[in-house]
Chains A and B, each alone.
Chain A
Amino acid sequence: MSDKVTSVAKQPVKRGLSRNTKRNIVAYSFIAPNFIGFAIFTLIPIIFSFFLGFFKWNGNGTPIFVGVSNFTKMFGDTFFKASFINTIMYCIGTVPLTLIAALGLAMLLNKKIKGRGLFRTIAFFPYVASLVAVTAVWTMIFHPSKGPVNAILHYVFNVQTLPNWFGKDLIMFTMVLFSVWRFMGYYMIIYLAGLQGISGELYEAAKLDGAGKWNQFRYITWPQLSSTTFFVMVMLTISSFKVYDVAIMLAGGSDGRLGTSSSVLVYYIYQKAFQEWDLGYSSAIAMVLFALVLLITLVQFRGQTKKEKE
């Protein structure tokens, strides 16, 4: 808001660079180191891949222009549709659950408890432990006939038809559960860092006013965390759409292949790109993924910039 005032006040025609231009140059100079590296090594290949969506190319020879045929092909592609739906379902499940779990853990482990450093490290473990190990454990625990989960369901709750957690009906659910467990420690750290930015004085004042724990959370913690929450939501959304490793490990079996019940977009992209070397089609699919994520991010971004202006 203060900026609107200063830009109105700036009138005179100076010789040399205007204040605006100087300001821009300074800002660009801050961005430059990161942007140059980013542009050369990442942005250019990404832009190239965008154009590739309208071509047919296998990595060698000249790309052949095919217009929108890659995109029309997608509409009739059952495997693409299955992957698309699975990915969306996965996203809807994972994002809110992980966020809540991570925030809860962060708030809990921000209190002054003995050994909280140790607990924080333990919460981080599922993320850094070898994916092979984590999957093996999960597979053992949820084994349809030999795992403890189904054993408990059968003997304690008397469930007759035991669920097959890796079967085509429940596999997406199992993947969501797995993800939440694996990544809540990761996002907990982000929230922990975010919590450090909240001044203790705010809570003091609130307590004096007689605010209880819930109101403190609602009126201080949650609003103060809004830029952190934005980051967490966007990252969760993007990484949910990009899910790949989790699906392969849980549902891929020994040959790393997914069926229609568990296939996800990035898996399909990978198949098209590196098994069939149909780089044009895989780029086209990626563009659809990108467009979707961009849309969701834009909505969140609008909401967030409104908040940040306050």
Chain B
Amino acid sequence: MKSLKQSKSRKIIVYLFLVLASIIMLIPFIWMLSASIKATQEVFSVPFRLIPAIPRWINYKDIWTTIPLLTFIGNTTFLTIVVTILQLLTSSFAAYAFAKLEFKHRNKLFLMYIATIAMPWQVYMVPQFIMMRAMGLNNKLTAIICLQAFSAFGVFMMKQFYTGIPNDLCEAARIDGMSEYRIWWKIMLPLSKPALSTLTIFTFVNTWNDYLGPLIYLKSESKKTVQLGLKMFIGQFSAEYGLIMAGSVITLIPVVVVFLLLQKNFVEGVASTGIKG
């Protein structure tokens, strides 16, 4: 019953709002781009100049030669991929039990999972380090994998999504004689594409941007990650902010690409198929 004019003007308002909001969201990114081609002392100078008088494009070359950025990107990519896969598998596996199976102490265990997220990592970092070193994990990439791949956060999130999937599906499958494992594999996993995409994005960003973990555990240069590399531009007495920003721009690209690819999964109707069937 809406008139064509009304819906068109509403559309325009919506677009206007989105464009305005986008500009606000993008300002820091524009700042990053602008800073990445400046000399260090220009980066914070007031008044702010969008494009410096002499753009230092050489910053984008220097970041590869001043520090072994390629090695760092390689290490970070390896860590991120391994952690993400492990997280997806183990979290969704565990979440299925919490969401769809009845078992003893389910709620208490789940509550404990959530509760541990509340502990700031800084608190138990030292005992954890001493323990991991005793296990021989100091200065090993495996250490980071062990720290990041088994998080309570992933379990919590997947469980909440699985709860939203109607029980009838699982019940029907059980009556058909499917084992719980097959139900998870054949029914839950495919239905949770949006949730899995979300977890992938978060795990990816988290591991990619992790600073404290690699700082404490990775000492040899050949093992260090991107965030440690960027910090190398901050010396004892000065910081090369132009290079830091150029590095940040480059390392932002994989994250954006992953997000763009995965957000396609946030499409209506994916989860609603197969309920009444």
Which residues of A line the B interface, CB within 8 A? 2-3, 20, 23-24, 26-28, 30-31, 33-38, 40-46, 48-49, 52, 59, 108, 110, 113, 117, 119-130, 132-134, 136-138, 140-141, 146, 181, 185-186, 189-190, 192-201, 224, 227-228, 230-231, 234-235, 238, 241-242, 244, 266, 269-270, 273-274, 279, 282-283, 286, 289-290, 293-294, 297-298, 301, 305, 308
Contacts and interface: CB of A to CB of B under 8 A. Distances in A.
Contacts of B131: 44-45
Contacts of A224: 164
B60 interface: no
A268 to B, nearest CB: 10
A301 B98 CA distance: 14
A146 B46 CA distance: 9
Most B-side CB within 10 Å, residue of A30, A200, A242, A294: A30
B194 A197 contact: yes
A190 B275 CA distance: 22
B28 A43 contact: no
Given A117-B264, A231-B157, A196 B124 contact: no
A227 B113 CA distance: 16
Interface in B118-163: 118-120, 122-128, 130-132, 146-147, 149-157, 160-161, 163
A27 B241 CA distance: 51
B19 to A, nearest CB: 9
B4 interface: no
Contacts of A227: 160-161, 163-164
A254 to B, nearest CB: 10
Nearest to B107: A305
A154 to B, nearest CB: 17
A42 B150 contact: yes
Chain A, interface SS category: helix
B186 interface: no
A2 B123 CA distance: 43
Given A37-B150, A38-B151, A49-B127, A110 B268 contact: yes
B259 A121 contact: yes
B25 A108 contact: no
Given A28-B103, A38-B151, A133 B111 contact: no
Given A30-B101, A46-B119, A196-B266, 18 more contacts: A2-B171, A26-B97, A33-B93, A37-B86, A43-B116, A45-B131, A59-B130, A113-B15, A125-B29, A128-B209, A133-B35, A136-B31, A197-B165, A235-B153, A273-B122, A290-B119, A294-B118, A301-B114
27 contacts: A2-B171, A31-B97, A38-B113, A38-B151, A41-B150, A42-B124, A42-B147, A42-B150, A46-B119, A49-B127, A119-B22, A121-B259, A128-B259, A136-B44, A141-B27, A146-B46, A189-B198, A200-B272, A227-B160, A228-B160, A228-B161, A241-B118, A294-B118, A297-B111, A297-B114, A297-B118, A298-B111
B84 interface: no
Nearest to A307: B163
B79 interface: no
A51 to B, nearest CB: 10
B77 to A, nearest CB: 16
B44 to A, nearest CB: 7
Contacts of A228: 160-161, 164
Nearest to B104: A24
Contact of B25 (A27, A125, A195, A282): A125
A46 B28 CA distance: 36
Contacts of A274: 122
Contacts of A128: 205, 209, 252, 255-256, 259
A132 B122 contact: no
B44 A200 contact: no
Interface residues of B, number: 101
A30 B93 contact: yes
Contacts of B28: 125-126, 129-130, 133-134, 136-138
B89 interface: yes
B156 A129 contact: no
Contact of B245 (A113, A133, A269): A133
A286 B120 contact: yes
Contact of A34 (B91, B180, B255, B267): B91
B222 interface: no
A52 B127 contact: yes
Given A30-B93, A31-B97, A228-B160, A119 B117 contact: no
Contacts of B32: 129-130, 133
Contact of B109 (A3, A31, A193): A31
Contact of B106 (A27, A141, A301): A27
Given A133-B245, A279-B126, A197 B161 contact: yes
A80 B171 CA distance: 52
Contacts of A129: 28-29, 32, 248, 252
A259 to B, nearest CB: 20
Contact of B160 (A110, A195, A230): A230
B51 interface: no
B91 to A, nearest CB: 6
